Amino acid sequence: MMNLIESLRKRTIDQLFKVESFEKHWERWQVEIENKLGDEITAEKLIDLGDHLSEIFQTTTEPGRSQDTLSGGGTAWECLITWYINMCSIGSRVVAFKKMSEVPEPVRRAITVNYVNFKCNTESDITVIVFPDRDEYTRPINDIELTDSKGRFKISNSKGLTNKKRALDFLSNRDYESYEVGIVQCKTNWNDNSQIPMMWSMIYNANSFRDPNISLGDASYSLDRINRFSYSFVTVPSNKNEFKSDSVAVRRVILG
């Protein structure tokens, strides 16, 4: 019986294969991935696979830059990165979430940028969480009982029914300050988006904003309260140009 963390990972990966653009290209990508890994898969080979994800992704790149093509390609790229992070993290306390709705509510609230009544966390393409090293996360879920405001309950019962969402809501509220969170932003069109890492890094690292209508997180959940936070940027990139280390585009990403 898997633990809560692995059950969340399985759900996330299962959802990736329901995304049309990812499912459409997976057959080709799987062949490329298996060729890179060879017959004997080792931890070193799996880590090294990350250096080839851009190359693998571009084996199914379609010509043209229509909005639909860019959007579908961007979504598929996010899915590929989510799949890769989770594959590298099997057996650990790390899970990469693609769907924001699957991210625990305290984390969603902490990474939300608020402007007056408008709330935005859509730039969080992938949310990576390192869960605390506690029994409730690492023991088989059918052995775990929790007590929240509604009473005592099991994460999984003998009939296989699960209360993972209820469990995660309870645990993330209780253990929020022990969580480690990473935002991974994925873009396929480098030229158009190289400024984004710098700007979002500024937002996530800002202690305050001059405009009182702007805030990050809320009074109950802020990034200052979690154990560790990081922000990263992953690009294919789509263009073939080489950039000098002191170019504006490269400096923007480095600063981010």
* Confidence bin at 68 (pLDDT 50/70/90): very low
Q: Is the pLDDT of residue 83 over 80?
A: yes
CA distances in angstroms from 6 to 186, 197, 248, listed in the order given: 24, 30, 41
Res. 243 pLDDT band, cuts 50 70 90: low
Cα separation of 205 and 239, whole Å?
A: 30
Mean pLDDT of all residues in 39-59? 92
Classify strands 145-148 and 180-187 as parallel, antiparallel or unpaired.
unpaired
Q: Are the C-beta atoms of residues 215 and 240 closer than 8 Å to each other?
A: no
Helix spans in the chain (H): 4-16, 20-37, 43-49, 53-57, 67-88, 105-110, 135-138, 164-175, 190-193, 196-205, 248-255
- Token pair of 250, please? 């490269």
Evaluate if residue 237 carries a pLDDT over 90.
no
Phi, psi angle pair for 2, to nearest 5°:
-80, 165
- The C-alpha atoms of residue 75 and residue 79 are separated, in whole angstroms, by 6
Q: What pTM value is reported for the model?
A: 0.86
For residues 42-56, give the mean pLDDT.
93
Instruction: Strand 126-130: give its sheet, edge to edge.
Output: 94-97, 126-130, 180-187, 228-235
pLDDT score of 74 more than 90: no
The C-alpha atoms of residue 133 and residue 242 are separated, in whole angstroms, by 43
- Buried b / exposed e along 205-229 (16+ C-beta atoms within 10 A): eeeeeeeeeebbbeeebbbeebeeb
Query: In the predicted model, is pLDDT for residue 28 greater than 50?
Result: yes
Tokens of 55: 């190359």
pLDDT in tens, 102-132: 999 999 999 888 887 777 766 668 999 999 9
67: pLDDT confidence band, cut at 50, 70 and 90? very low
Which of 35-44, 56-65, 96-105 is predicted least confidently? 56-65
pLDDT tens, position by position, 159-213: 555 788 889 999 999 999 999 999 998 888 766 677 777 777 778 877 778 877 7
